[in-house]
């Protein structure tokens, strides 16, 4: 098309009303929720950028597929459709459906990871880290140095530091490493992509040491688009071809269909190894369900099978990546610090840079997230020391590498004017950054504390 504007590649077929809580209602909601945005009711939020997980809009083709869902307990036709699509995409023969990504992670780690072992990744997402630690093992992040610097411009900031991976293997011993993981895109590091060149280099290290390589593939399609756009030699490849090549380098994958499955629920564990798959299926039956539905309805499996096709359409991916970049550009032009370049599914505001007067011990990203809600009813999520800080025995805390607020863009859900509104709110809050104060935690859980912690204004 000769025009510059990349339009939403769909027209709206069904709408859901947005609520507009008043500033007083928002203040009251914040106090009730202990300043934790996970504690808000969704109708207390105007624009909900808490997550891109399960919050997308399904297509008419997906809703139509749901109507023909086969709800048979065993051997459902919908499972075969799902399995066939996952096999064609990943090349992995063993397909185990799960109710979402973390169920696949739990099952994989319960089978493969033992106490005292070490699992490397570019950056573990909070659920993979917690599920590894739950097995008594250690989750180690080995992203390249650029991936830890919000301002560094690099086309593949999600890449694994291959030399660091080699060092880790020789330090801890290959027998203590059950598998290597790579998260595409690297959510906790800013939604940044991993190049095929890097995946191949990680594969080569794994081959040298006889280690299996698993993808945390939640956003594989967005990663494929970045490869198409940025990696030399891939401009002419389709996103499907690139995705197939990514998966061909792996021995297995965990997947949350709530992201690039374009579905509201679901996931899978896919593998090459039939013996590991057999053990995984035993746990699946115990925790999720029979191997041909794994905690999902037949209709969910149908929606995911269709979603896994649609998510690789070029029109969709071009719009998807552009809409995130559009919000990031508005912030960047106004001098609001964000993780550069913008990631695939979210804009990450750099709270450490925006709020240098708030020390990490007072959770600057939490403070910024609260302020965006207070000011404009926009809900994002803290990805910083609340999520990844490590309480020490002496009562202090080791802070996270970065203090970010993630504004995740649900798929096919908001239009450009919604995003223009969000940008206005961000700019208004940034304008009075100096007045924003930090928080302290008054209540927390031992695992994944960010979901339920309660806060109070510090000092």
Binding footprint of ligand F0G on the chain (CB under 6 A): 51, 53, 100-102, 125, 127-128, 183, 187, 216, 218, 256, 258, 267
How far apart are CB 52 and ligand F0G at their closest, in Å?
7
Angle at 230 between CA 3 and CA 227, to 5 degrees: 105
Which residue, judged by CB position, is nearest to ligand F0G in the bound state? 101
Instruction: Considering the complex, state which of residue 45 and residue 358 has its C-beta at the smaller distance from ligand F0G.
Output: 45
Instruction: Considering the complex, state which of residue 157 and residue 258 has its C-beta at the smaller distance from ligand F0G.
Output: 258
How far apart are CB 259 and ligand F0G at their closest, in Å?
6
> By C-alpha distance, which of 178, 188, 173 is closest to 142?
188
Instruction: Considering the complex, state which of residue 187 and residue 338 has its C-beta at the smaller distance from ligand F0G.
Output: 187
Instruction: Considering the complex, state which of residue 188 and residue 195 has its C-beta at the smaller distance from ligand F0G.
Output: 188
Q: Hey, what long-range contacts does 429-433 have (CB within 8 A, 24 or more apart)?
A: 429/368, 429/371, 429/372, 429/375, 429/376, 430/334, 430/335, 430/336, 430/354, 433/354, 433/355
Instruction: Considering the complex, state which of residue 85 and residue 258 has its C-beta at the smaller distance from ligand F0G.
Output: 258
**By CB neighbour count within 10 A (0-12 exposed, 13-18 middle, 19+ buried), where does 392 fall?**
exposed
How far apart are CB 257 and ligand F0G at their closest, in Å?
8
Instruction: Considering the complex, state which of residue 112 and residue 358 has its C-beta at the smaller distance from ligand F0G.
Output: 112
In which element (H, E) is residue 168 found?
helix 162-172
How far apart are CB 193 and ligand F0G at their closest, in Å?
13
The sheet carrying 180-183 orders its strands as 94-98, 267-271, 252-256, 213-216, 180-183
How far apart are CB 349 and ligand F0G at their closest, in Å?
16
How far apart are CB 455 and ligand F0G at their closest, in Å?
20
Half-sphere exposure in the Cβ direction for 128 (13 Å, CA): 30
CB 340 within 8 A of CB 153: yes
Instruction: Considering the complex, state which of residue 51 and residue 90 has its C-beta at the smaller distance from ligand F0G.
Output: 51
Strands 267-271 and 94-98, bridge-based pairing: antiparallel
How far apart are CB 183 and ligand F0G at their closest, in Å?
5
> By C-alpha distance, which of 156, 154, 236 is closest to 200?
156
């Amino acid at each position: 098309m000769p025009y510059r504007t990349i339009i939403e590649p769909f027209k709206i077929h069904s709408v859901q009303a947005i609520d507009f809580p008043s500033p007083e209602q928002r203040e009251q909601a914040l106090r009730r929720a202990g300043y934790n945005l996970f504690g808000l009711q969704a109708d207390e939020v105007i624009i909900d950028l808490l997550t891109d997980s399960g919050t997308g809009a399904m297509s008419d083709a997906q809703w139509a597929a749901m109507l023909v869902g086969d709800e048979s307990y065993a051997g459902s036709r919908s499972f075969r459709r799902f399995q066939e699509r996952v096999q064609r995409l990943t090349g992995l023969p063993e397909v185990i459906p799960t109710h979402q990504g973390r169920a696949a992670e739990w099952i994989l780690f319960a089978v493969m990871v033992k106490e005292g072992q070490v699992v490397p990744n570019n950056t573990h997402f909070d659920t993979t880290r917690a599920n590894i630690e739950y097995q008594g093992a250690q989750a180690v992040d080995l992203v390249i140095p650029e991936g830890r610097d919000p301002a560094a411009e690099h086309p593949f900031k999600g890449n694994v530091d291959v030399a660091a991976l080699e060092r880790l293997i020789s330090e801890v011993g290959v027998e203590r490493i059950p598998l290597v993981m790579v998260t595409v895109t690297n959510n906790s590091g800013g939604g940044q992509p991993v190049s095929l060149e890097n995946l191949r280099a990680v594969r080569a290290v794994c081959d040298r040491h006889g280690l299996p390589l698993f993808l945390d593939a939640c956003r594989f399609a967005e990663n494929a688009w970045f490869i198409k756009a940025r990696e030399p030699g891939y401009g002419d490849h389709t996103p499907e071809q690139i995705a197939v090549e990514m998966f061909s380098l792996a021995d297995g994958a965990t997947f949350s269909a709530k992201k690039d499955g374009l579905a509201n629920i679901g996931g899978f564990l896919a593998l090459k190894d039939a013996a590991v798959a057999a053990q995984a299926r035993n746990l699946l039956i115990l925790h999720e369900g029979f191997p041909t539905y794994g905690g999902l309805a037949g209709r969910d499996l149908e929606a995911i099978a269709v979603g896994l096709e649609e998510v690789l359409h070029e029109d969709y991916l071009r719009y998807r990546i552009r809409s995130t970049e559009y919000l990031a550009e508005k912030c960047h032009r106004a001098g609001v610090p964000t993780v550069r370049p913008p990631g695939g599914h979210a804009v990450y505001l750099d709270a450490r840079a925006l709020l240098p007067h708030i020390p990490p011990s007072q959770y600057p990203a939490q403070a910024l997230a609260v302020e965006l809600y207070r000011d404009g009813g926009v809900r994002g999520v803290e990805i910083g020391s609340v999520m990844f800080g490590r309480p020490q025995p002496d009562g202090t805390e080791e802070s996270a590498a970065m203090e970010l607020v993630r504004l995740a863009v649900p798929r096919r859900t908001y239009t450009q004017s919604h995003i223009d509104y969000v940008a206005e709110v961000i700019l208004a809050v940034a304008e009075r950054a100096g007045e924003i104060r930090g928080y302290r935690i008054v209540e927390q859980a031992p695992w994944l504390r960010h979901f339920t912690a309660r806060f109070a204004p510090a000092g």
